[in-house]
């Protein structure tokens, strides 16, 4: 039996044990590699879908999975960083691009817009300038976005530059939009009130370019301040299958030649009403934020006998102190039946009148022995120091108005002491309040709205006039005295320690917006 080998068999097949195990291991290895390949393909596919939402199929899938948001309305303080390009700069930037460069630029611009400019490092191109409406077409379900109108605009300064800008609105606002946006109307895209971002570039014949722009603020537009014509709303969903541009080349040629027109009678009436530039109305002027009532300032006139305004310092007043009469000259004749005015003691807790000068007793003659000179009564802390009756008359004229309705106006650098802060400190001030401490505001500000003795300011940002960082949600509302003219919209003003604004209150809104209410307290420019 030695030297013989025995093998085990499975049934009558004649195969040795262990052969099936090797075949099964090879099959499982192949299956695992197939699974790894499938996982890799899924990973690459998901990366491609999320990285390229500008593709119609990818966008439709992301919308179904709720992995991408529809276009949103931006606040001017949270808008993406960008550069404002005039028509000539737009032509220079995009007119010299090759076909391949235009394709890459279109993919990037549309991708950034669909993502609502999340994590975009490059500057967004914004179109500014004055444009004339060549024609208007309605937005339908078959266009890039729906519910509204799309206007073909031509730059006044550079006729080679054409813009197509959708004006999307709710269905209830469509009649007002159609009445306001007419052929021949001029639209003024301003910095930084209007943010019309370029999302598509198209080269046309005759060295013209067509740029598709989207108004990221979706604000209110009108022909004059305070006369709103229509308001916009962001589209609920985009139709990428329709593609860009929205207006075809054939319609562009017809609109440019005036072959496509609307109701001529209606357009004629609307042109008479909207004779001025159509531009976006600042949010602060269209929908003012509720704020505390602040009365206007009345300048304080200087007088030779009235000391210059200075911080009021409360002084202690003796309570129930015996009345004190001034010194009376000796041998002064006395009148009969003369009543001597004796000041009465002031009870504890009795408020003193805000602007009542101290009563000065009238000197009278009394036949008495030579009295000793007594100290003069201390003036009350509620008004300036008086020296004679003439001074009292002037003081009464200055304080005739209730003190709660006026504030003093000083020469630069002569205001009372206080804490000097900047707009970046608004978060801290809004949290703890100003209390009874006097606060002054300094910094550089851009005027976004002005009128009726008031100006709305935004802290000046380092890029394109848009505030960033701690100043992103800070707005300053300043009241000016009647003698001062508020700065006009679009200007940039600076205030230092010599000419700061005095802070009245700081309010934080539900959306995080911080409103600083201040007033002008210095003279001059």
The domains of the chain, with CATH numbers, are 82-281 (no CATH), 419-520 (2.40.50.110)
CA atoms within 13 A on the CB side of 286: 17
Give, as one character, the DSSP assignment of residue 158: -
Cβ neighbours around 268 below 10 Å, total: 11
Q: How far is CA 301 from CA 278, 305, 309, 339, 504, in A?
A: 44, 11, 10, 37, 23
Q: What string of DSSP letters covers 58-126?
A: HHHHHHHTT-SPPP-PPPTTSPPPEEEE-HHHHHHHHTT--HHHHHHHHHHHHHHHHTTTTT--SPEEE
Tokens of 425: 């400190």
Query: Angle of helix 56-64 relative to helix 19-51, nearest 10 degrees?
Result: 100
CB 130 within 8 A of CB 156: yes
* C-alpha 172: how far from chain center: 27
Burial annotation 334-353 (CB, 10 A radius, 16+ → b, else e)? eeeeeeeeeeeeeeeeeeee
What's the CA gap between 473 and 513, in Å, rounded? 5
User: How far is it, in rounded angstroms, from Cα 382 to Cα 356?
Assistant: 8
Q: Which two tokens stand for residue 424?
A: 């970046």
Q: Tell me how far apart the alpha carbons of residues 291 and 361 are, in angstroms, rounded to a whole number.
A: 47
- Alpha carbons 131 and 165: distance in angstroms, whole number: 11
96 touches 115 (CB < 8 A)? no
Q: For residue 318, what are its two tokens? A: 């003796």
Q: What angle do CA 173, 178, 182 make, to 5 degrees?
A: 145
CA distance 218 to 72: 9
For the chain, residues with pLDDT lower than 70 are: 1-22, 223-229, 258-276, 281-405, 461-471, 525
Q: What is the pLDDT of residue 52?
A: 93
Give me the pLDDT at residue 347, please.
Answer: 52
Query: Is residue 407 a contact partner of residue 521, using CB atoms and an 8 Å limit?
Result: yes
Longest CA–CA separation in the chain, Å = 166
- pLDDT confidence of residue 299: 53
Q: Is 442 exposed, middle or buried (0-12, 13-18, 19+ CB in 10 A)?
A: middle
pLDDT digits (tens, 9 = 90+) for 180-196: 888 998 999 988 778 99
Distance, CA of 399 to CA of 383 (rounded, Å): 9
Q: What is the SS3 string spanning 49-64?
A: HHHCCCCHHHHHHHHH
Residue 228 to residue 281: CA distance in whole angstroms: 7
Distances (CA, A) of 489 to 126, 404, 448, 456: 20, 29, 5, 9
Tokens of 347: 């009870």
Report the alpha-carbon distance of residue 486 to residue 499 in Å, rounded: 15
Q: How far is CA 302 from CA 252, 308, 388, 522, in A?
A: 68, 7, 17, 14
List 421's β-bridge partners, or say none: 441
User: What's this model's pTM, rounded to 2 decimal places?
Assistant: 0.54
Name the β-bridge partners of 223: none
Measured distance CA(416)–CA(439) in Å, rounded: 10
Contact 70, 235 (CB under 8 A): yes
d(CA 330, CA 368): 8
Angle of CA points 438, 443, 448, to nearest 5°: 105
The rounded percent of the chain whose pLDDT value lies above 70 is: 65
Q: For position 426, what pLDDT does the model report?
A: 87
Pairing of strands 501-508, 514-520: antiparallel
């Amino acid at each position: 039996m030695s030297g013989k080998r025995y093998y085990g068999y499975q049934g009558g097949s004649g195969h040795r044990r262990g052969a099936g195990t090797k075949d099964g291991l090879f099959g499982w290895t192949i299956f695992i590699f197939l699974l790894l390949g499938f996982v890799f393909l899924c990973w690459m596919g998901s990366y491609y879908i999320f990285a390229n939402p500008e593709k119609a199929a990818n966008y439709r899938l992301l919308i179904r999975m709720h992995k991408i948001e529809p276009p949103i309305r931006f606040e001017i303080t949270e808008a993406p960083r960008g550069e404002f390009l005039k028509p000539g700069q737009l032509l220079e930037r995009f007119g010299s691009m090759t076909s391949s460069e235009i394709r890459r630029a279109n993919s990037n611009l549309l991708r950034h817009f669909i993502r609502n400019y999340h994590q975009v490092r490059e500057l967004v191109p914004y179109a500014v300038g004055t444009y004339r409406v060549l024609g208007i077409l309605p937005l339908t379900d078959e266009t890039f976005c729906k519910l509204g109108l799309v206007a073909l605009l031509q730059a006044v300064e550079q006729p080679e530059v054409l813009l197509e800008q959708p004006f999307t609105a709710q269905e209830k606002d469509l009649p007002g939009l159609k009445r306001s946006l007419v052929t021949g109307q001029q639209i003024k895209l301003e910095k930084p009130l209007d943010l019309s971002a370029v999302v598509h570039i198209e080269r046309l014949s005759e060295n013209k370019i067509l740029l598709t722009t989207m108004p990221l603020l979706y604000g209110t537009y009108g022909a004059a301040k305070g006369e709103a014509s229509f308001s916009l709303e962001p589209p609920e969903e985009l139709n990428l299958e329709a593609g860009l541009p929205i207006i075809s080349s054939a319609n562009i040629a017809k609109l440019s030649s005036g072959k496509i027109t609307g109701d001529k009678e209606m357009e004629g009436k609307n042109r008479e009403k909207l004779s001025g530039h159509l531009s976006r109305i600042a949010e602060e002027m269209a929908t003012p934020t509720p704020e505390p009532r602040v009365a206007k300032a009345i300048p304080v006139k200087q007088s030779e006998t009235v000391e210059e305004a200075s911080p009021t310092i409360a002084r202690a007043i003796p309570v129930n102190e015996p009345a004190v009469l001034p010194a009376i000259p000796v041998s002064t004749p006395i009148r009969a039946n003369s009543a001597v005015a004796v000041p009465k003691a002031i009870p504890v807790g009795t408020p003193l009148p805000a602007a009542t000068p101290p009563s000065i007793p009238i000197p009278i003659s009394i036949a008495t022995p030579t009295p000793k000179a007594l100290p003069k009564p201390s003036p009350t802390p509620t008004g300036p120091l008086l020296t004679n009756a003439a001074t009292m008359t002037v003081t009464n004229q200055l304080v005739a108005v209730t003190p709660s309705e006026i504030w003093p106006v000083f020469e630069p650098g002569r205001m009372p002491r206080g804490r000097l802060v900047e707009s970046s400190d608004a978060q801290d001030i809004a949290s703890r309040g100003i209390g009874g401490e006097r606060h002054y505001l300094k910094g550089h500000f851009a005027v976004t709205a002005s009128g009726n003795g008031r100006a709305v300011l935004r802290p000046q940002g380092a890029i394109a006039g848009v505030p960033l960082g701690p100043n992103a949600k800070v707005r300053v509302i300043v009241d000016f005295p009647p003698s001062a003219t508020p700065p006009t919209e679009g200007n940039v003003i600076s205030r230092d320690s010599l000419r700061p604004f005095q802070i009245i209150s700081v309010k934080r809104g539900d959306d995080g917006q911080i409103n600083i209410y201040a007033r002008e307290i210095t003279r001059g420019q």
